[in-house]
Structure 1
Amino acid sequence: MAEIKQLPKRSEVPVALTWDLSTIFKDESALKKAIAQLSPQVDALLESSGNLANNGATLLTAIQSELKIENQLERIYVYAELKNDQDTSNNQNQALKDQVNDLVAKVSAKLAWLEPEILAIPKATLANFQNNNADFKPYKHYFDVLNLKRKHVLSTKEEAILAGASSIFETSENVFGILDNSDLKFPFVKNTAGETVQLSQGMYSTLLQSTHQSVRKQAFEQLYAVYEQFKNTFATTLAGEVKVHNFNAQIRGYESARQAAMSESAIPETVYTNLVTEVNQHLDLLHRYVGLRKKILNLKELHMYDLYTPITGKSPLNYTYLEAQEEAKAALQIMGDDYVSHVDEAFKNRWIDVVENQGKRSGAYSSGVYGTNPFMLLNWQDDLDNLFTLVHEMGHSMHSYYTTHNQPYQYGDYPIFVAEIASTTNENILTQYLLDKYDDPQIKLFVLNHYLDDFKGTVYRQTQFAEFEQFIHEADARGEALTAEMMSDYYGKLNHRYYGDDVVNDSQIKSEWTRIPHFYYNFYVYQYATGFAAASALAKGITTHQPHAKDNYLTYLKSGSSDFPLDVMKRAGVDMSQKQYLEDAFDVFEQRLNEFENLL
């Protein structure tokens, strides 16, 4: 009888393949000490309430104290998040996360007076404080960002109420996370080798790349059979999240939740509408690629579960995790010795939680906090796609590393809008590296296929998600009920418009919205698409050794949030307020699609 392969328990994972969270807190006693220190610091800051307009020194001291508290609170929060994500079924981890969420809500409520009181100070007085005290200079952009909120910040009492309710507002996302990562029980299926394996999020992506359609079909149908059992529950959690976004936008005087989300980084809504417009104008390229896939795979019917298997058959490139480390460093060497030395640190110093285990959060991400090294979560599988994931998350981590080592705390993070550019620039660099490295036409075909799929999955798919996200927010704002049936109906039609008539619009795909965690992130997904398009231009400059391209890119990595995102990217060489960078990205897609067809 064939052995059934199950995921290991967390305790069974080799320590070398887990991240080392002791760089955040050495042990639980250090965590408890940090939590205990917060209360007196908060109380001391509260003594400044009502006095910030008196003089510049009082205001500056209050801001510095608040930033110190914020940094400490972030360390506590990130530690709890990472502990929980490594095993969401662990009750102790869940309890710590809940405790920290409550702590964040309480501290936020106590400090909610600060922004309203600063913004109650006349602009002229703030300018006078800054002009007469050189110590204000490092906070110039801090005030620029704060002034963007001037007409959207509520009274001190109202801000305190909202801050105190923050953990309540996170309920829908938290329920989705527990259900999706811990409570859903997936069946056992057959892999390409005929082995019985337990279906999981990580295993699902691997099985969809199988060269056997029966394996792909079984994984697809079995996964969605589980999600469809709970579609009404998922509809309730997603509807609750959308209502939170719309509620917060409304009470702060924004015209929409999208405007509220984008205004935080001073991103005009035209960036979003330009993306949707350009993608829809280039759907013919996606339809052409999908049609080519159907023809080459020699399928009578092309299904949604056939969109991820390599067109050229079984991958000629597979990597163990150790092999992937060496290939990643070789590909990224074009960024210079300093960059690669920090990549090597990540591998040697346990910045990465590598393998999948029972209860571990699905997917991959880079996280961390100012003052510590970055952390990466993976669910490793030995294939080319996971090499790209590793390089992608390393892009985020190097962005964090360079930012935190070159900016003060107030600018030591970066908005999501620029975050996805660093990760996808790395992916584009890896693509060019592999195309240059191998002369074998079969390998070139496979890498080109991977690029085309990546473009499809990042630019087209994420814009499809963005359209769905906009639709459900507008529907809720109009007072329409976000039922499972209503959302599935729209999603199914949207999916058919994107992929065209060459793909069977399988009934299960209507429920895809049930399993997308990014719909809980408040207009997050469009930035994957804009980021990939901008990264395409940046990577081309670096790989073709255009003058100053690498240096300008490294300057972008070091900029953090010291300026508005569009201005940071202009200095890097991409004007994202215009459509040209999107048109250039589609040109590259079409060129590589042509190259792919010619090689065939």
Structure 2
Amino acid sequence: MKKKSNTLPERSKIPVEMTWDLDKMYTALPLWEKDFKSLDALLADFMAFKGKLGNSAETLRDALKKSDALERRLEKVYTYAHLKADENTADSRNSSRLDQVTARCAEIEGETAWFDPEVLALPEEKLKSYVDSPVLAFYRRTLEELLKDRPHTLSEPEEKILGTVSDALSTPYKTFTMLNNADMKFPKVPDGKGGEVELTHGNYIKFVENPNREVRKAAFGAMYDTVTKYRNTFAAILDGAIKTHTFEAKTRNFPSTLRASLHDDNIPDTVYTNLIGTVRKNLPFLHGYFELRKKYLKLRKLDMFDIYCPIVPDCEIEIGWDEACRYVRESLEPMGREYCSIIDKALDERWIDVLECRGKRCGAYSSGCYDSVPYVLMNYSGTMNDVFTLAHELGHSMHSYFSHKTQDFHYASYSIFAAEAASTTNELLLHSHLMKKFTDKKLRLYLVNRLAEEIRCTVYRQTMFAEFERMIHEKREKGTPLSADELCASYFKINSEYHGSAIVPDDRIRMEWARIPHFYYNYYVYKYATGFSAAIKFSENILSGDKSKLDAYKGFLCAGDSKDVLDILRDAGVDLGKPEPVESCMKHFAGTVRQLEKGLSM
């Protein structure tokens, strides 16, 4: 019998209603080109204030307004270019356009690098008078943040150099993206139904969730055998990225890359270290979960490709796109009429690029700008995980929507530290809704299993990544070369510690670091874990029916960058400056595992 063979479709074959509508930004490429060219005039308007910031508070205010106008236009042309590039990473026209605007960003960053040093060079009394001036009241927070940056701000020529080379310093990530998404091809693997399917980053999770162990094993082998062929290349690229982070931290007089990364958000190092310490302390809960998984999968030992498939047997779920949208929409009813009306717009007015196609960037994200809708990129393949991903990314988009609607452009961009709280809150609301909607015992157990997996992957796994990321940065700071052997050995050790004795891993898992794009984001992954911890509290508050708690959460969505992010979260009812939210999350995980074990034993 001839096996079926499936390959990814070209983008031109995807139904238009399943693609995002970037015409909302520019109906024709010449309009984008016009905006791109207008950057020169906007830059000139801002540059006219060079050497004049000490004239008066009014002069500084006007300069800041011109800076905002330039940044706003630059944000729009960049956003469009990167969204188009992600539609098809192999399309040289799209990548060239993105390269063009990225290079212009670097040039502008270099040209405008005089601003901070000139402000900080003002006499102390004049600078204090500016901070207290009613004329600059709107910008007071910005000026206070600038004063905080004084020890890390260089001279004007030095700042110009750093700004000019910023594009070059991003080369490791761009190289990783092209290798990982465009150049690297995977073989076809068995689909468990008598056919074969081309393996991709986008559909890999579907294979390792498959109840057929041979399907899982084949996909795991195909993934890591392919990645291993490029082990030295991936190591050189990641080493280059970590060198860049180290260079930037040292150049700006930070004691470490971690401190440099947390500085802008006023996050103390203890938030990062407390997370790792608290999760480490609660690893026995995770190890107990793996023992439960081993028992009900009826395996003598677990391998790394056995930790994603549902424990609940015979519960494979395929969910169509329309059904997924309906589930997500219903789950968000507790957020109120206004919130849901915007969700309807996102689903009905093509804010979302839905399906995987050849060359499309893998994964999922929410992205937009002040002058666009907050778009969502997905690679939807019909799994329950995809439904939760839709809820997650719409959480980001709604955060952006309300922040942009409420705040002036200057304070509209919320801290990334807070972003994962909004997205994960939506996931938890979806879980609660589906637990009420479904009456089938196996399906409900599947959802409990899935929640346990969500906490495992978002808190335990991301904290493991955070610890590995800190480790490799510290090694590079001490001068240790990050060779493929060094990275593999370090990753395998920490992976074994987190997963415990129930798992005897395939040796190829030591290459997993090579396919994690977040290691290029400079201490990003820990925010998933802290965000999930905050989201547990937020979802409980929303579902309590207490209007004041819902209003506090909506205040968080609308706050943008109007205050320090830890203060915004405290106002909404979560203090991530203390270990308690993470401790509570760990207890929630333990309770979820007990609920799963009880259901399985009945």
Same fold (TM over 0.5): yes
The whole-number CA distance in structure 1 between the counterparts of 2:298 and 2:332 is 37
For 2:172, the equivalent position in structure 1 comes to 172
Superposition deviation, residue 193 in structure 1: 1.6
For 1:358, the equivalent position in structure 2 comes to 358
The answer on whether the counterparts of 2:131 and 2:143 sit within 8 Å (CA) in structure 1 is no
The letter of the residue matching 2:93 is Q
| 3-state SS of paired residue (2:246) | helix
1:58 and 2:59 are equivalent in the alignment: yes
The whole-number CA distance in structure 1 between the counterparts of 2:218 and 2:392 is 29
For 1:29, the equivalent position in structure 2 comes to 30
Superposition deviation, residue 10 in structure 1: 1.3
The whole-number CA distance in structure 2 between the counterparts of 1:352 and 1:126 is 46
- Structure 2 matches for 1:531-570, cutoff 5 A? 531-546=531-546, 548-570=548-570
| 3-state SS of paired residue (2:380) | coil
The whole-number CA distance in structure 1 between the counterparts of 2:141 and 2:597 is 49
The whole-number CA distance in structure 1 between the counterparts of 2:490 and 2:285 is 23
The answer on whether the counterparts of 1:316 and 1:446 sit within 8 Å (CA) in structure 2 is no
For 1:209, the equivalent position in structure 2 comes to 209
The whole-number CA distance in structure 2 between the counterparts of 1:337 and 1:317 is 30
The answer on whether the counterparts of 1:518 and 1:524 sit within 8 Å (CA) in structure 2 is yes
* Worse-matched range after superposition: 80-89 or 22-31: 22-31
The whole-number CA distance in structure 1 between the counterparts of 2:356 and 2:72 is 30
The letter of the residue matching 1:446 is Y
The whole-number CA distance in structure 2 between the counterparts of 1:579 and 1:66 is 39
- Structure 2 matches for 1:250-399, cutoff 5 A? 250-315=250-315, 317-399=317-399
Superposition deviation, residue 123 in structure 1: 4.8
Alpha carbons of structure 1 residues 122 and 331: separation in structure 2 relative to 1, 3 Å: farther
* 1:264-322 deviation digits (Å, cap 9, x = unpaired): 10000100001000000000000000110000000122110011000002436431111
- Structure 2 matches for 1:366-515, cutoff 5 A? 366-515=366-515
For 1:113, the equivalent position in structure 2 comes to 114
The letter of the residue matching 1:334 is P
* 1:101-153 deviation digits (Å, cap 9, x = unpaired): 1111111111111111122224542342354434x222222222222211101
The answer on whether the counterparts of 2:466 and 2:523 sit within 8 Å (CA) in structure 1 is yes
| 3-state SS of paired residue (2:562) | coil
1:44 and 2:45 are equivalent in the alignment: yes
* 1:46-90 deviation digits (Å, cap 9, x = unpaired): 121111011011111111101110111111111111111110000
For 1:573, the equivalent position in structure 2 comes to 573
The answer on whether the counterparts of 1:556 and 1:569 sit within 8 Å (CA) in structure 2 is yes
For 1:187, the equivalent position in structure 2 comes to 187
For 1:523, the equivalent position in structure 2 comes to 523
The letter of the residue matching 2:3 is A
Superposition deviation, residue 44 in structure 1: 2.5
The answer on whether the counterparts of 2:468 and 2:491 sit within 8 Å (CA) in structure 1 is yes
The whole-number CA distance in structure 1 between the counterparts of 2:597 and 2:227 is 37
* 1:385-442 deviation digits (Å, cap 9, x = unpaired): 1000000000000000000000001111111100010001111111111222223321
The whole-number CA distance in structure 1 between the counterparts of 2:44 and 2:139 is 24
When the two structures are superposed, what TM-score results if normalisation uses the length of structure 2?
0.98
| 3-state SS of paired residue (1:202) | coil
Superposition deviation, residue 371 in structure 1: 1.9
Superposition deviation, residue 337 in structure 1: 0.9
* 1:512-536 deviation digits (Å, cap 9, x = unpaired): 0000000000000000001001111
| 3-state SS of paired residue (1:366) | strand
The letter of the residue matching 1:37 is S
Stretches of structure 1 lacking an aligned partner (at least 5 in a row)? none
For 1:8, the equivalent position in structure 2 comes to 9
The letter of the residue matching 2:396 is H
Superposition deviation, residue 224 in structure 1: 0.4
The answer on whether the counterparts of 1:49 and 1:114 sit within 8 Å (CA) in structure 2 is yes
The letter of the residue matching 1:450 is R
Alpha carbons of structure 1 residues 11 and 287: separation in structure 2 relative to 1, 3 Å: same
Runs (4 or more) in structure 1 with deviation over 6 Å come to: none
The letter of the residue matching 1:256 is S
The whole-number CA distance in structure 1 between the counterparts of 2:344 and 2:567 is 31
The whole-number CA distance in structure 2 between the counterparts of 1:185 and 1:373 is 33
* Worse-matched range after superposition: 1-10 or 125-134: 125-134
Superposition deviation, residue 26 in structure 1: 2.2
Superposition deviation, residue 188 in structure 1: 0.5
For 1:242, the equivalent position in structure 2 comes to 242
The whole-number CA distance in structure 1 between the counterparts of 2:581 and 2:114 is 41
For 1:593, the equivalent position in structure 2 comes to 593
The letter of the residue matching 2:352 is I
The letter of the residue matching 2:95 is Q
| 3-state SS of paired residue (2:202) | helix
The answer on whether the counterparts of 1:8 and 1:358 sit within 8 Å (CA) in structure 2 is yes
Superposition deviation, residue 252 in structure 1: 0.5
